[in-house]
């Protein structure tokens, strides 16, 4: 499902080039749950953004299914994200002027899904927010906002869920609940889940742990 071949990412920092990722090669098969870990600045979030096509590598190639996304223009990348990828951010990224249900509806309306309202209601129920769909983000707790963000990520029935520190802004109880929601949806929908996290306990529950240090993969292990 995801193939990363010799990816390097370099950016200009003042008068010098800063290498964020260096010669990273990985492959994540369909339905796998992978935790990306490592210290701050190791390149985890950058790698996730490259997989999503939100940024381009300096060199190397990335495939999503049979699509080499590093060779696609922005319109096609947007189509691939809409069709195949759900993304959950640490800071929720909900639209404040829209209700919880309307935030979930947006990706479906963009794709022209006919039963969008019914599916939005189902997703709200899946994340335990059936009675909160008419509330705006400012009227929801942090945990509730992240649950809406997860429901939105699953709106178009993606085959890949990318989550960047989704529990980072939550207390331990809400963080555990969000983690269980994501992994439950991952198991029921058979999606490939790539989770960036600093939480060793959460990472230990993944099928596979990939550790980055200074932009390189230093460990790639499978849970027994």
What's the pTM? Answer: 0.89
Own/partner pairs, 189-192, CB within 8 angstroms, 24+ separation: 189/154, 189/157, 190/30, 190/31, 190/159, 191/31, 191/86, 191/158, 191/159, 191/160, 191/161, 192/1, 192/2, 192/28, 192/29, 192/30, 192/31, 192/32, 192/33, 192/34, 192/159, 192/160, 192/161
pLDDT tens for the 224 residues of the chain, in order: 899 999 999 998 888 889 999 999 999 999 999 999 999 889 999 999 999 999 999 999 999 988 999 989 988 998 898 889 988 888 888 999 999 999 999 989 888 888 999 999 999 998 889 999 999 999 999 989 988 998 998 888 889 999 998 888 888 888 888 888 888 888 888 899 999 998 888 899 999 999 999 999 999 999 86
Residues 155, 161: Cα–Cα separation, whole Å: 11
Q: How many residues does the chain have?
A: 224
Q: Which domains does the chain have, with CATH numbers?
A: 2-222 (3.40.50.300)
């Amino acid at each position: 499902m995801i193939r990363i071949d010799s990816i390097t990412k370099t950016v200009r920092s003042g008068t010098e080039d800063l290498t964020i990722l260096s010669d990273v090669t990985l492959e994540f098969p369909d339905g796998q749950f992978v935790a990306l870990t490592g210290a701050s600045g190791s390149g985890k979030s950058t790698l996730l953004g490259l997989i999503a096509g939100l940024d381009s590598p300096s060199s190397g190639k990335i495939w999503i299914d049979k699509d080499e996304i590093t060779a696609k223009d922005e319109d096609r990348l947007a189509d691939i994200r809409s069709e195949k990828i759900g993304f959950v951010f640490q800071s929720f990224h909900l639209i404040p002027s829209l209700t919880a249900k309307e935030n979930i509806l947006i990706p479906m309306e963009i794709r022209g899904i006919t039963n969008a309202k019914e599916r939005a209601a189902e997703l709200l129920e899946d994340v335990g927010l059936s009675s909160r769909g008419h509330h705006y983000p400012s009227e929801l707790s942090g945990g509730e906002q992240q649950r809406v963000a997860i429901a939105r990520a699953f709106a178009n029935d993606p085959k890949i869920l990318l989550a960047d520190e989704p529990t980072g802004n939550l207390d331990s109880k809400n963080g555990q609940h969000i983690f269980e929601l994501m992994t439950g949806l991952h198991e029921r929908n058979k999606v490939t889940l790539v989770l960036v996290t600093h939480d060793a306990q959460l990472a230990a529950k993944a099928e596979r742990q990939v550790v980055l240090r200074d932009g390189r993969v230093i460990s790639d292990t499978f849970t027994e």
